[in-house]
């Protein structure tokens, strides 16, 4: 990217730097990557990075946060209408959820978070305050509604939520990050349908089953 292009769009510099940083960190690992390499990937001087980010760690944290927020913005909002089938709704939302989780961007950022989660404490804060609140609690509320309607067994909503979302995340991790799709390619629709069926046929009261 030329310096002229950067001068024309200075307001986009932080986002461009973070995008380049994610690419470099994904290829090299956070510890091994250098700010010089990030600067080269962004087409700028290293000094320019420090106009926006005080350190490599701050750049890493903000790049991960921006990437996660972009992903979270794509996740569907869970809205339960009276009379809706929780299992069918989960299948429909599951496909959208997997489309996001199994995207290239998520495949880049997940290994970075896992590798540095214990080393950079603020990542835990981001997980608690920015991820759990937008995923776990929405699904837990859906299960609570199902219980109130007499469709779902008397289970602990948050445990059931972690079971459900964990299944989706595990497939995204194994398929996209660990490369299992090269051995056993799977369709997001089939994955979502199977997870929802297994979970809800175990959760639904016998008399509520068709």
Instruction: Mark out the alpha helices in the chain (DSSP H runs).
Output: 3-8, 13-28, 35-42, 46-49, 56-74, 86-101, 104-116, 122-126, 136-148, 157-172, 188-203
pLDDT of 107-126, one tens digit each?
888 899 999 999 999 998 88
Return the domain boundaries, the chain: 3-53, 80-208
**Short-list 57, 34, 36, 60, CA closest to 46:** 36
pTM above 0.95, yes or no: no
- Among 72-81, 95-104, 131-140, 172-181, name the most confident range: 172-181
Q: Categorize the per-residue pLDDT at 151 as very low, low, confident or very high, splitting at 50, 70 and 90.
A: confident
Q: Categorize the per-residue pLDDT at 1 as very low, low, confident or very high, splitting at 50, 70 and 90.
A: very low
Q: Check pLDDT > 50 for residue 3.
A: no
Q: What is the pLDDT of residue 204?
A: 66
Fold of 3-53: Arc Repressor Mutant, subunit A (1.10.10)
Contact 148, 85 (CB under 8 A): no
DSSP 152: B
Please state the separation of Cα 37 from the chain's center in Å: 26
pLDDT of 158-188, one tens digit each?
998 888 888 988 998 999 989 999 999 999 9
What is the C-alpha to C-alpha distance for residues 44 and 70, in angstroms, rounded to an integer? 24
Q: Which CATH superfamily is domain 80-208 in?
A: Tetracycline Repressor, domain 2 (1.10.357.10)
Residue 36 phi/psi, 5° resolution? -65, -40
pLDDT of 17-41, one tens digit each?
999 999 999 999 999 999 999 999 9
Q: Check pLDDT > 80 for residue 95.
A: yes
Mean pLDDT of 128-142: 77
Q: Among 4-13, 130-139, 189-198, whose mean pLDDT is lowest? A: 4-13
- DSSP notation for 10-52: GGGHHHHHHHHHHHHHHHH-TTT--HHHHHHHHTS-HHHHTTT
Fold: same for 3-53 and 80-208: no
Q: Categorize the per-residue pLDDT at 96 as very low, low, confident or very high, splitting at 50, 70 and 90.
A: confident
Q: What is the pLDDT of residue 141?
A: 81
Tell me the residue length of the chain: 210
Mean pLDDT of 2-10: 48
How many Cα atoms within 13 Å fall on the side-chain side of residue 187? 5
Q: Categorize the per-residue pLDDT at 76 as very low, low, confident or very high, splitting at 50, 70 and 90.
A: low
Q: Which residues pair with 204 in a beta bridge?
A: 152
């Amino acid at each position: 990217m030329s310096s002229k292009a950067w001068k024309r769009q200075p307001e986009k510099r932080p986002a461009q730097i973070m995008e380049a940083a994610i690419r470099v960190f994904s290829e090299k690992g956070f510890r091994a990557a250098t700010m010089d390499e990030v600067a080269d990937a962004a087409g700028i001087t290293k000094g320019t990075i420090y106009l926006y980010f005080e350190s490599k760690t701050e750049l890493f944290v903000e790049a991960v946060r921006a990437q996660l927020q972009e992903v979270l913005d794509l996740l569907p909002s869970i809205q339960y209408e009276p009379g809706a089938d929780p299992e069918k709704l989960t299948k429909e939302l599951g496909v959208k959820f997997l489309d996001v989780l199994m995207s290239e961007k998520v495949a880049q950022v997940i290994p970075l978070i896992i590798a540095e989660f214990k080393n950079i404490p603020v990542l835990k804060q981001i997980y608690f305050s920015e991820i759990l609140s937008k995923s776990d609690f929405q699904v837990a509320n859906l299960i609570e509604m199902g219980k109130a309607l007499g469709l779902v067994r008397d289970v602990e909503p948050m445990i059931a939520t972690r079971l459900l979302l964990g299944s989706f995340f595990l497939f995204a991790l194994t398929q996209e990050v660990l490369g299992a799709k090269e051995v056993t390619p799977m369709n997001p629709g089939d994955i979502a349908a199977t997870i929802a069926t297994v979970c809800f046929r175990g959760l639904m009261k016998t008399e509520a089953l068709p």
